[in-house]
Amino acid sequence: MKKNIFVLLVSIIVFSCSQKPKTLIAHLDGYWEIESVSLSNGAKKDYNVNQTVDYISIGDNLKGFRKKMNPRFDGKYETSKDSEILELKIENDSLNLYYSTEFSKWKETVLMANKSQLKIINQNNDVYLYKRFIPIIVE
């Protein structure tokens, strides 16, 4: 009996702490800096300094794009005209990002998103942890 109550309590805690896929969407827009990658083989790579950041923009229709941006010290950004078109879909209680470029198509799943962090897993089971980018402005 005690074991059943313990399992029930743990289940309630786990499911109440998980984010609903629809609530994650509001946090995706903006500039994201990669913090680390945990590869499926167990290796982990930390990124202490980044020359580029990802800019994600999502429209009302759950479609948008992601671009690589080079932050400058004056608070502005440089970028190429290249971007990845993306579409958001909620499937099986997960928020999936479907990307397409002229050369490739792929899918990623958002594991966690809030105002300061974003965690995504790709089809190779590599987990990317991003932090919200805060520009350094030198006057």
**pLDDT per position as a tens digit, 22-39:** 999 999 999 999 999 999
C-alpha span between 62 and 47 (Å, rounded): 29
| Residue 125, pLDDT score | 97
Q: Three-state DSSP class for 40?
A: coil
C-alpha span between 109 and 21 (Å, rounded): 10
Instruction: Tell me which DSSP letter residue 81 carries.
Output: S
| Residue 6, pLDDT score | 45
Q: Three-state DSSP class for 17?
A: helix
What average pLDDT does range 42-62 have in this prediction? 93
